[in-house]
Chains A and B, each alone.
Chain A
Amino acid sequence: MAVLEKAAGNETLLEVENLKKYFLAKKGMLSSQTAWLKAVDDVSFNINKGETLGLVGESGCGKTTIGRTILHLYEPTSGTVKFKGRKIDKHSIKTLRRHMQIIFQDPFASLNPRMTVGDIIGEPLDIHNLAKTKNERKDRILALLEMVGLNPEHANRYPHEFSGGQRQRIGIARALAVEPEFIVCDEPISALDVSIQAQVINMLEDLQQELGLTYLFIAHDLSVVKHISDRVGVMYLGKLVELSPSGKLYKNPLHPYTKALLSAIPVPDPNLSRSRKRIILEGDIPSPINPPSGCRFRTRCPHAKPICAEAEPVLKELEKDHFCACHLFDS
């Protein structure tokens, strides 16, 4: 929250408007028929400078697709993404990507095993011509290694010599090399051991303070997202169902899906686990190829009404800064 108020100039860094991303998918394994898989279906939100927006949801809800579409790693089907008021398309992204970077989930797959750590971190410098001389390049690499808590002698080693947590640090150093303003963190700690996760979270927070970074933090772990984010968006089957400052969302969740999601997290507190009553959702997440009509959550919603099958609820501001898309709040 403190960060949110600090950015109270409310300078919008990123605007996402009616973003849609559909993938062409086969209807069955052997079928030649195709259908549209609506990974992200009409999502809009803003990210202010200096804040962390968290995106949570279960597998297939489209949270990773949003992150990648923002960086134009996927061409959006429709809708626009604006960075500092400038529309991102295949021309502008070449200059804009210097300001927008990504940290990936899997620290084992996202580093080239045949490059030294120094070259991995140096590559973005080469691509964007940020180091004039060899010495400047080397100094910059060493400074980046230090920034993420690694030693200078690590520059000559290869990724396989490092543990998962250290590799994630290398990935972060690579993202920071071009001095970006905005970083998409796509499940950056899910592949790490519990005791290492906290190290990486703290480092991301420190770097944000020092460098004035803005994050889009994507994760399925709600307690981590709550911890790091100023605002949190909850996604279900390609739709944003709730968007709120993180404290409010956890104290007073409005959407039935958010409520169920929060109550489903196992809490590391035996007394609390014995006493609390869980909302157990029936059934599975429907396929995004054939999503339910109307509200997409209605097939699992304990409060579903006839209207939910007919009309799609829109995201409305129910309290200050607290948005929710649900027919329960229709007046």
Chain B
Amino acid sequence: MNKTLLDIQNLKVSFFTPAGEVRAVDGISYTLNAGEVIGIVGESGSGKSVSSYAVMRLIDPPGRIKEGKIMFNGMDLTQADEKTMQSIRGNEISMIFQDPMTSLNPVFRVGNQIIEAILKHQDVSRKEARQQAIEMLRLVGIPGPEKRIDQYPHEFSGGMRQRAMIAMALSCRPKLLIADEPTTALDVTIQAQILELMKELKQKINMAIILITHDLGIISDLCDRVIVMYAGKIVEEASIDDIFYNPKHPYTSGLLNSIPKLDADENQRLVPIEGNPVDLLNPPAGCPFAPRCKHCMRICLKENPPFYRVSDTQKAACWLLYKDNPEALEELGCIKEG
């Protein structure tokens, strides 16, 4: 069961703009087991989407995968040619996007768009593919799929479109689903429907999910493990309980403190993270979060902290953890104390 499905090693993705190199993803590593749901949280520009687009090899110029490996089922996707990628996309790795209004083609029937994906990857007749598409639509809870399959996207509501997108993404039973802010464009009550559906499907189809979102509530609802990203780097990785009840990185705890809670007392003030998001064109030296960090020390402005293991399921990149990790000294022989 605990078979590693995806192993990302030191991935770096940069965009070469006229103003200079933007390091959107700056050396991230993580693994994902088969059937596991991992959440990636971060603010805009933290590299959470770019890192997952890289897995699908969907980075267009001026962006480029600069370094690193993306091992999927033992194959390095950074080295795969376009033909191999086409056989993987939609078949073994699928994606659902944020905006269901723009990610379906408005001039084709919804059914045909699903059938196309099935015909591309499976050796079945058109009739069988249609039958499968109807089954998929039923699976994602679209009422009357026999009729709905011949309708156009504009005849679907937002929530229905996102269901159709999910049906399409799952039509070839992928091993990995990348969901990029799948509910951000939807209303709260519709979002609850989609989240419930994803939970259900996760049980039915044993697939791994990378869920990208900025909403910590959704993470807590759906994920087993969480990665927190800031300025292209992973700052903390932990099991869901550790992230919410025992966060180690100041950015993670800052995020948790800055959201209003429904059960909180009235008139309780929020604790914001001061300062502004990082300018990726001129990232600060040292830890990228240092200029906004309450606990910033001298070393933070000079050297980027390495990962410290807090437990088997938790690690964070912060100099504050240094003193709790005597063995860290060995690991970091090259770095002098600040």
Contact = CB atoms under 8 A, between A and B. Distances in A.
B260 A265 contact: no
Contact of A265 (B159, B188, B255): B188
B276 interface: yes
| Chain B interface size range | 35 or more
A161 B258 CA distance: 25
Contacts of A59: 187
| Chain A interface size range | 35 or more
Looking at chain A's contact residues, the main secondary structure is: helix
B195 interface: yes
A166 B276 contact: yes
B220 A280 contact: no
Given A59-B187, A201-B270, A264-B192, A194 B219 contact: no
A269 B220 contact: yes
B273 A280 contact: no
A154 to B, nearest CB: 12
A284 interface: yes
Interface stretch (A16-24, A98-106, A125-133, A220-228): A220-228
Contact of B271 (A193, A198, A262, A271): A198
Contacts of A264: 188-189, 191-192
Contacts of A194: 43, 214, 216, 255, 258-259
B273 A266 contact: no
A109 interface: no
A223 B196 CA distance: 20
Contacts of B193: 280-281
A280 B269 CA distance: 31
A261 B187 CA distance: 10
Interface in B169-201: 187-193, 195-196
A193 B229 CA distance: 13
Interface string B285-311: 000000000000000000000000000
Given A194-B259, A269-B244, A199 B274 contact: yes
Looking at chain B's contact residues, the main secondary structure is: helix
B266 A1 contact: yes
B254 interface: yes
Contacts of A196: 272-273, 276-277
A202 interface: yes
B272 A198 contact: yes
A271 B159 CA distance: 27
B76 interface: no
A143 interface: no
B99 interface: no
A284 B157 contact: yes
Contacts of A246: 266
A243 B81 CA distance: 60
Given A198-B257, A198-B258, A201-B272, 7 more contacts: A163-B276, A194-B43, A224-B260, A263-B192, A264-B192, A267-B261, A270-B244
Interface of B: 43-44, 154, 157-160, 187-193, 195-196, 214-221, 240-241, 244-245, 254-262, 264, 266-267, 269-274, 276-277
25 contacts: A1-B266, A166-B276, A193-B214, A194-B214, A194-B255, A195-B43, A195-B273, A196-B272, A198-B257, A198-B258, A198-B272, A199-B272, A199-B274, A220-B187, A227-B270, A263-B192, A266-B218, A268-B220, A268-B259, A268-B261, A269-B244, A269-B261, A271-B241, A284-B157, A284-B158
